[in-house]
Amino acid sequence: MKKYNFNLNNLFQNNKFLMLLSFLLSFTLWCIISIYSAQFDGNLETKLISDIQIAINLSDSAKENNYHAFFNGDSLKAQISIVANRLILGQISKNDIQVVANQPSDTINYPGYYDFELAAKRNSNIKDYKIESIAPNFIKVMIDRFKVEEFEIEDRIKFKSDPKFTVGRTSFSNSKISISGPESKIKEIDKVCAVGEFNDILKKSTTLSSKIVLYNKNDEVVDPELLTLSFYETEATIPILLSKSLPISLNFKNQPEGFEATSERVKITPSTIEIAGPEDIINDITEIKLNSLDFNKIDPSHNNFELPIDLPKGCRNLNNVALANITMDLSGYICRTMSVTKFNFSNLSEDKQASVGTASISVTIVGPESAVNEFKQEDLVAQIDLKDKSYTGYKEIPVQVNPTAKTGCWVFGEYSANVSIKQKS
């Protein structure tokens, strides 16, 4: 096998190799020279870089006085013109340049608008370019203290309603709004309103989206520029209610047999009330019932009462009368104090026994004079209900005293007896 010996000297004596090597070296050198010469020759280009965020610099004294810079977001963008060769221009973005708005003087003594001059500087390691121009050259900035205030939403909804209906108070999905921004702008605001309009005649409760508008003391619109609102629209609900006049009635608790609660005997003031509410609710109501009045609170000297007038949910009291006055005409009725010695137990567990430690209790009987005077001690029985009384021992337990076989009489007051409950042996 023939052995091949590599000889570098022979290689360099080869004309073809030398021609190829010369070409490669010449091409490489040409590329290097072209690249470097392109960076330093006069063939420069211009590029505009937009949407560069502007940083605002306030002096230390302004910050110590709690001053802040306020501006519109769109006005805080700058455009820069730079000059460099094409290779460098292709590498530069807006993140490589910083634009700063510098405070025009060291001292800001009062709130207001100030012109801040813009300056641009490099913000990365790319240095081989020139910042030729910046636009705008100045920006107007509001300098003031920061303030937050809360306002009630007022109603400025325009509409027309059917005359046979009553219009309720407009309610809003947000009743209060928070507004922040320059203190001087906040002080301009006198009221905040929800503004909207219905073109159709309203015959039922309606909701619409209404715009938030700011007004000053002269009822002029305040420009919300530089202000931040917690919301800019709110849902306004206008309740359209059907009105109706209804009688007021009263139920009694422990009403004695034979006592007739006629309008001459029981006077309710007012006897009727005008209410308004959703049509489906109003159509089902025939009267307004007061809370029950217990006869154990009534006697000839305690015959005048006030009870709240409660309406169904969603209804309004158009008379604005919150209480009804109850007057009981008890002429011809008397009171008599008697002792009760007879006690009965109900709902006593079969494995327990009970006894009354109180020999008697003194009670007040109320009724027509003739009926009360005929009362005998055996006509009175004290009923003691031991339902859910699972304990043993002595305890004060309420008693219910009911006159027996005496028409139109009742017991005034609340009473109790000392009861002993024991386990059966």
Q: Which domain holds residue 168?
A: 146-238
Please state which of the ranges 64-73, 137-146, 228-237, 283-292 shows the lowest mean pLDDT: 64-73
Do 250 and 314 share a domain, yes or no?
yes
Q: What CATH number corresponds to the domain at position 203?
A: 2.170.120.40
Do 226 and 307 share a domain, yes or no?
no
Residue 210 CB burial class (10 angstroms; 0-12, 13-18, ≥19): buried
Do 190 and 230 share a domain, yes or no?
yes
pLDDT digits (tens, 9 = 90+) for 313-336: 888 899 999 999 999 999 999 999
Do 269 and 321 share a domain, yes or no?
yes
Q: What's the pTM value of the predicted model, to 2 decimals?
A: 0.57
pLDDT of residue 347: 86
Do 107 and 85 share a domain, yes or no?
yes
Do 348 and 362 share a domain, yes or no?
yes
DSSP state of 344: E
What's the pLDDT band for 394 if we cut at 50, 70, 90?
Answer: confident
Inside any domain, residue 248: yes
Q: What CATH number corresponds to the domain at position 373?
A: 2.170.120.30
Inside any domain, residue 61: yes
Inside any domain, residue 381: yes
Inside any domain, residue 14: no
* Distance separating alpha carbons of residues 230 and 210, to the nearest angstrom: 15
Domain count, the chain: 4
Do 215 and 230 share a domain, yes or no?
yes
pLDDT at 150 exceeding the cut of 80: yes
pLDDT digits (tens, 9 = 90+) for 161-213: 888 888 888 999 999 999 999 999 999 999 999 999 888 888 888 888 999 99
Do 270 and 319 share a domain, yes or no?
yes
Inside any domain, residue 11: no
Do 255 and 234 share a domain, yes or no?
no
Which pairs count as long-range contacts for 158-163, CB under 8 Å and 24+ apart, including other chains?
Answer: 158/196, 158/197, 158/198, 159/197, 159/198, 159/202, 159/206, 159/238, 160/198, 160/201, 160/202, 161/201, 161/202, 161/203, 161/240, 162/201, 162/202, 162/203, 162/240
Inside any domain, residue 15: no
Do 181 and 208 share a domain, yes or no?
yes
103, 136, 169: which is the final residue of a domain?
136
Inside any domain, residue 309: yes
114, 136, 158: which is the final residue of a domain?
136
End-to-end Cα distance, the chain: 130
Do 345 and 304 share a domain, yes or no?
no
pLDDT of residue 201: 86
Residue 417 CB neighbours (<10 A): 19
What's the pLDDT band for 3 if we cut at 50, 70, 90?
Answer: low
What's the pLDDT band for 375 if we cut at 50, 70, 90?
Answer: confident
Mark residue 219 as left, alpha or beta (left: phi above 0; alpha: psi -120 to 50; beta: remaining): left
What's the pLDDT band for 232 if we cut at 50, 70, 90?
Answer: very high
pLDDT digits (tens, 9 = 90+) for 21-75: 777 778 787 766 655 554 544 578 899 989 888 888 888 888 888 999 898 766 6
Find residue 241's DSSP bridge partners: 166
Do 229 and 248 share a domain, yes or no?
no
238, 253, 270: which is the final residue of a domain?
238
Inside any domain, residue 17: no
